[in-house]
Amino acid sequence: MLSLVATLLVGATDGGITAFSTPKEAFAHVLALHPQILGVGEYHELKGAPKVPSAIKHFTNEALPMLDGGATSLIVETWMLNGRCGQVEKQAAQAVEKTTKRPKETEDEVTTIMGKAYDLGLKNHTLLINCDDYKSMLDKDGELDAEQSLLLMRRKVEEKATQVRDEEEGGLPGKMLILYGGALHNDLTPTADDAPYTFGQSLQKETRGGYVELDLLVPEYVDTDEELLKFPWFSPALALAKKGKTVLIQPSPGVNVIVFAYSKIKPPRR
């Protein structure tokens, strides 16, 4: 599948954490697992975050070119607005933007990853959201209903993944399917509270173990995240990231977390 895998598995391991010199080496280590479905989840960039390469930019520029024909399809956790659902569509879009607080550049990066995937021969898919779906995303006050929105996204991605498998387009042996979205729905070992919003275990069962989870963390976005700091591997990973290392953590079978190296930010000109 990957012509570079054999030469890139050169990381140094310490206490279950593997440090690499480049993101490409870390990605190669994950891709060497030969997943049928690779569920990629990112911690999104927020407005006001430091201007450093985002997770989706890393994946687009460093992981996709390594596929070498090893993937056939990409499903991105997004959808196109077409205006057919009128005011409820507009309300839902505004509610999502208000709640997620993502910068406008995120939309450009989604377009870029799909363009890159197309150039590499992958078939692109986004989610189809209908008028009833938009209604379900809003509460009685017209604000985003977080629980219903998470349930909807989980269902839509899982349905699309199943469709692609049924059509033998991807997600089968020798036809890797990539799912790209937020770092929740792709979980293989979710908490009891998060389990209803995840498709990892379901797709792992459907593929008979062929599903692999990959979470992408940009340290500048998450290094003060209270939930991540509870994990015993997170602080050591950050320490390595500050030394310019890309860090791969594999806490359980099928679960992979990549923490990218801190970027060097040039001081402003005086």
Task: List CB contacts of 35: < 8 A, sequence separation 6 or more.
Answer: 176, 210, 211, 212
Residue 190 belongs to some domain of the structure: yes
Q: Residue 103 has what pLDDT?
A: 62
Length of the chain: 270
The residue among 45, 43, 40 whose CA lies nearest residue 63 is 40
Look at residue 205 and tell me if it is in a domain. yes
Residue 235 resides in a domain: no
Residue range of the domain that includes 133? 35-223
- C-beta of residue 150 within 8 angstroms of C-beta of residue 194: no
The answer, yes or no, to whether residue 6 has pLDDT greater than 50, is no
If one counts every other C-beta atom within 10 angstroms of the C-beta of residue 218, the result is 27
pLDDT at site 84 = 87
**pLDDT attached to residue 151:** 96
Inside any domain, residue 21: no
- Average pLDDT of the chain, as a whole number: 88
Query: Domains in the chain: how many in total?
Result: 1
Q: pLDDT tens digit string along 191-212?
A: 999 999 999 999 999 999 999 9
Cβ pair 188, 35 in contact under 8 A: no
Q: 155-161: long-range contacts at Cβ-Cβ below 8 A with a sequence spacing of 24 or more? A: 156/127, 156/128, 156/129, 157/75, 157/77, 157/127, 157/181, 157/185, 157/199, 158/199, 158/202, 158/203, 160/75, 160/125, 160/127, 160/128, 161/37, 161/75, 161/199, 161/203
pLDDT band at residue 232 using 50, 70 and 90 as cut-offs? very high
Q: Domain for residue 184, yes or no?
A: yes
Residue 16 lies in a domain: no
